[in-house]
Amino acid sequence: MMQEQKQMIDGLDMSVVEQIAEHYKSILTLIGENPERDGLKKTPMRAAKALSFLTSGYRKDPKKVVNSAIFEYSGSKMVIVKGIEFYSLCEHHILPFYGEISIGYVPGEGMVGLSKVARIVDVYARRLQVQERLTREVCYVLYKELGAKGVIVYCEADHMCMKMRGVEKENSSTATVEYCGVFDDFNMRQEFFSQLRGYKK
């Protein structure tokens, strides 16, 4: 007899998504809303599915992403992938922060497929995060798994927890940098940032 296949939403069992939806329904009631009114009847399940997608990085292994597409070193002195868009949720308020990440690395014996670099960003961004840790995690998974001689990651993001609430600074943005290996050298970092200057998407 064939075992019934479980329905999954972004790697989560549907029964778990339904539990999350019930919690959203309770939250709506607690803030003074009526979750049974027409505009909100489907909101708990929509929100649960959205949260499943926005946290799908917990159910993906970034090491496997890197190792699924490593190619023989072909001679580039530095590889730079600019302007990788990302969207994440701040772990302090569960509000969005979003921006762009640019990554440079000096290959060792292997190079990784360019699309995988963007996928690594998504794996870490689709978790509850802080920008500083996101920048560091992307840097070190590439350094360790790829065997690169050095990696540098520059991240710039807007945080809704600063724009929508709290200090309410609409024009604020935050930049973080993480580097290792040959990028400990100031001249290497300068070379990377010189390639980013004037970059406009």
Active site residues: 90-93, 131, 159, 161
In this structure, which amino acid lies at residue 187? N
- CA 57 and chain centroid, separation: 8
Q: List own/partner pairs for 169-176 with CB under 8 A and 24 or more apart.
A: 173/99, 174/131, 176/131, 176/132, 176/134, 176/135
Q: Could you give the CA distance from residue 192 to residue 102 in angstroms, rounded to a whole number?
A: 10
E-strand ranges in the chain read 8-9, 12-13, 70-72, 79-90, 96-106, 110-112, 128-129, 150-159, 174-181
Which residue stretches of 147-183 are H helix? 160-163
Number of C-beta neighbours around residue 101 at 10 A = 27
